[in-house]
Amino acid sequence: MKHEYDIVIVGAGLAGLRAAVEIGGDTRVAVLSKVFATRSHSGAAQGGIGAALGNEEEDHPEWHMFDTVKGSDYLGDQDAIEILTEDAPRAIYELEHLGVPFNRTREGKIAQRAFGGHTRQFGAAPVKRACYAATRTGRVILDTLWEQSLQKGVAFYDEYQILSLIIRDGQCGGVVAYELATGKLHTFHSQAVLFATGGAGKIYKTTSNAFASTGDGMAIAFRAGAPLEDMEFVQFHPTGIYKLGILISEAARGEGGILLNNDGERFMERYAPVIKDLAPRDMISRCMLEEIRAGRGIRGQDYLHLDLTHLGQAVIESKLAEIASFARTYAGADPVKDPIPVQPTCHYMMGGIATDADGRVVVDRAGTPFPGLYAAGECACVSVHGANRLGCNALLDTLVFGRRAGIEMQRYIRATGSPHRSAEPEKKDADRLRGLMESKGRERSGRIRAEMQATMMDKVSVFRVQDGLRAAVAKIKELQERYPQIAIQDKGHCFNRDLLDAIELGHMLDLAEVIILGALYREESRGAHSREDFPARDDTRFLVHTLFGYDAIRGPQIFTKPVKITRFQPQERKY
Ligand SMILES: Cc1cc2nc3c(=O)[nH]c(=O)nc-3n(C[C@H](O)[C@H](O)[C@H](O)COP(=O)(O)OP(=O)(O)OC[C@H]3O[C@@H](n4cnc5c(N)ncnc54)[C@H](O)[C@@H]3O)c2cc1C
């Protein structure tokens, strides 16, 4: 079936919907999502969204900018970070006017709370900067933007999974999508496409991410010629529920929760004397693993305790309601009385599809745009998070850069004619699906996925070392070779998870390879990338972004580009 729009947005999380709200109305916009729109992972965001409103105590966008640059371990592009932090207050008031029900201060202003790495006066002490709606911040923003998109006449195609981009003469002109309920292929022709397809936490065994976070957009753009940037920087959030990875938001520590080791010691006081349990995530995750290695895990095992008991029932029930219920349901711990068992969990991709600050996908070091192709949100790398993202800055990124991508796409489609139509753009995908469905191989995608996830968890997570990375890349290559032998058991056309799992696995294997190659190349420790064989940051060799371009024959090809430094020169990062 064929469809025609001015702009196609893939992804109904906050980035996609913020762009849709910007351009809906006079532009024909379709939003495609492989899950029902409001089930996008953005809805799971708990803790908050950062902006220097100064509602609870003095704060300034410049302080927010500094914290983000320092948090990024000086790898974030400072021109883009300045846009992010300067635009943040506007983005929050806009949400307020659209109807987002934020928590309030006594005087009726938007309430704010502390979050990791956010400080006042350039690192002097934690500051309250996160705007929140209890622990359902993402949920309420997502619902509000969805409702606004419907009002603007945006067409939603829920449970449509895109398989490829339509590219003709180097210009992007739409997507090919698979309708989950029927197994039919659909072509969507458009003048511009925005990828807002979210993260890829499912590459790892333990993750806070949703089942849908399989990095499809990054992998599809990569194969279509868009480079991936800084993929080796994968964030592990310190407080996933032990063994499950389900997130206990940083808001728990923002409200005063503390981490304890088996001796009952608040160990973060030793590592980050100024901001302690509110140090950035990369640092706390490393410290937790150090404690576990030193035998101070709880009962000598590989987890620690997050203690909220001193906060009292009233604070826990009113400000941390969802996570209290997660702790009761999934950890069997009532946070009012018991500490919660936690360990680091794969949470966020700092890297992604290389873009500029207007959402244009860029293909080289000079910033040449890929005509008609845009990306925003977690699948994109602008780069505002550099080597480590601060809590509360991801939601902000989706809104600020989702909106900017919307504005830029509208400008682009007015200035550019429609791309040439390709004949039968869906043929390649139809052949691929048929190949998978008819394969007589003996492999199962579940088995390959489990091996990939275990390898990535074991060798490419918080700490990395050359031998381990080499073994990991060899393993991923082996899995890529086994991949074509996958046979699909389910021969049906209605919600064929077996088939979709195999397709998503192909994407994750591509991304896993790029993550490891980036990690091998970067012989230093910076932000979330910690090489035990190169424990220091090396600004002489590695104050650069790493990018990989797709090459079907030679494998991913690396190049680098400089980091934009405008106001804050790199310094040693201490908290
Ligand atoms: C548990 C959790 C808590 C978090 N808490 C916070 C927080 O408090 N503050 C903060 O700043 N950040 C938080 N984050 C991070 C933040 O929520 C995400 O980075 C952000 O919401 C990503 O938004 P997005 O719009 O880029 O993508 P998502 O919300 O992940 O949406 C991706 C969309 O792409 C669609 N999609 C993907 N592939 C395809 C395909 N092939 N075809 C069609 N559609 C496709 C999906 O259906 C979905 O609609 C949290 C993340 C998690 C996992």
The percentage of the chain sitting over the pLDDT mark of 90, rounded to a whole number, equals 96
**Is the shortest distance between the CB of 410 and ligand 1 below 6 Å?**
no
Q: Residue 417: which pLDDT band, with cuts at 50, 70 and 90?
A: confident
* Nearest atom, ligand 1, residue 16 CA: 25
Token pair listed for 508: 């994750």
495 closest CA partner among 159, 37, 39: 159
Which CATH number do you get for residue 507? 1.20.58.100
Cα(51) to ligand 1 centroid in Å equals 19
Q: Is residue 43 part of a domain?
A: no
Domain of 479 in residue numbering reads as 427-533
Q: Distance, CA 87 to ligand 1 centroid (Å)?
A: 21
Tens-digit pLDDT profile for residues 262-285: 999 999 999 999 999 999 999 999
Residue 170 is predicted with a pLDDT of: 92
Identify which of 8, 17, 41 to mutate to test ligand 1's pocket (most ligand atoms within 8 A of the CB): 41
d(CA 115, CA 128): 7
Residue having the nearest C-alpha atom to atom 50 of ligand 1: 45
Is 442 an active-site residue?
A: no
Q: Residue 307: in which H helix or E strand, if any?
A: strand 304-307
Q: Is residue 555 part of a domain?
A: no
The residue whose CA is least distant from atom 51 of ligand 1 is 45
Q: By three-state DSSP, how is residue 463 classified?
A: strand
Average predicted confidence (pLDDT) for the chain: 96
- Please report whether residue 55 resides in a domain: no
How many CB atoms are located within 10 Å of the residue 513 CB? 20
Q: What is the pLDDT of residue 423?
A: 79
116 φ, ψ to 5°?
A: -55, 130
Quote the CA–CA distance of 209 and 489 in Å, as a whole number. Answer: 26
Q: Out of 322, 342, 362, pick the residue that ends a domain.
A: 342
Residue 422's pLDDT is 76
Q: For residue 322, what pLDDT is reported? A: 87
Number of domains, the chain: 2
Q: Which of 42, 158, 342, 400 to mutate to test ligand 1, by most ligand atoms within 8 A of the CB atom?
A: 42
Q: Has residue 418 got a pLDDT over 90?
A: no
Q: Is the predicted pLDDT of residue 389 greater than 80, yes or no?
A: yes
pLDDT at residue 318 in the model: 87
Q: CB of 529 within 8 A of CB of 482?
A: no
Q: Rounded to the nearest whole angstrom, what is the distance from the C-alpha of residue 42 to the centroid of ligand 1?
A: 4
Nearest protein CA to atom 44 of ligand 1, as residue:
33
Answer yes or no: is 133 within a domain: no
Closest ligand 1 atom number to CA of residue 395:
11
Per-residue pLDDT at 419 exceeds 80: no
Supply angle C-alpha 385, 386, 390, rounded to 5: 35
Query: Residue 136 above 90 pLDDT?
Result: yes
Q: How far apart are CA 526 and CA 72, in angstroms?
A: 9
Which residues, at least 6 apart from 557, have a Cβ–Cβ distance to it below 8 Å?
Answer: 548, 549, 550, 551
In a domain, 281, yes or no: yes
Quick check: is 229 in a domain?
Answer: no
Asked if residue 225 has pLDDT above 90, the reply is yes
CA 294 – ligand 1 centroid, Å: 35
Rounded CA-CA distance 323/238 in Å is: 15
Nearest ligand 1 atom to the CA of 14 is 25
Which stretch of 16-20, 164-168, 418-422, 476-480 has the lowest confidence by average pLDDT?
418-422
Give yes or no for a contact between 161 and 177, defined as CB atoms under 8 angstroms apart: yes
By three-state DSSP, how is residue 206 classified? coil
Annotated catalytic residue within 129, 253, 281, 286: 281
Flag whether 518 is in a domain: yes
H or E element in which residue 22 lies: helix 14-23
Buried b (16+ CB within 10 A) or exposed e, 202-220: bbbbbbbbbebbbbbbbbb
- pLDDT tens digit string along 21-70? 999 998 999 999 999 999 999 999 999 999 999 999 999 999 999 999 99
Q: Which of the listed residues 309, 342, 375 is the one where a domain comes to its end?
A: 342
**Final residue before a domain boundary, out of 324, 342, 360:** 342
pLDDT at 7 over 80: yes
> Span 322-351, mean pLDDT?
96
| Alpha-carbon radius of gyration of the chain | 22
Q: Does residue 127 form part of some domain? A: no
Q: 420 pLDDT exceeds 90?
A: no
The residue whose C-alpha atom lies closest to atom 33 belonging to ligand 1 is 11
Name the pLDDT band for 489 (thresholds 50, 70, 90): very high
Give the pLDDT confidence of 74-125 residue by residue, as tens digits. Answer: 999 999 999 999 999 999 999 999 999 999 999 999 999 999 999 999 999 9
| Residue of 49, 197, 255, 510 best suited for mutating to test ligand 1, as the one with most atoms within 8 Å of CB | 197
User: Global pTM?
Assistant: 0.97
**CATH code, domain carrying 309:** 3.90.700.10
User: What pLDDT, on a 0 to 100 scale, did the predictor assign at position 135?
Assistant: 87
Paired strand residues for 353: 228, 380
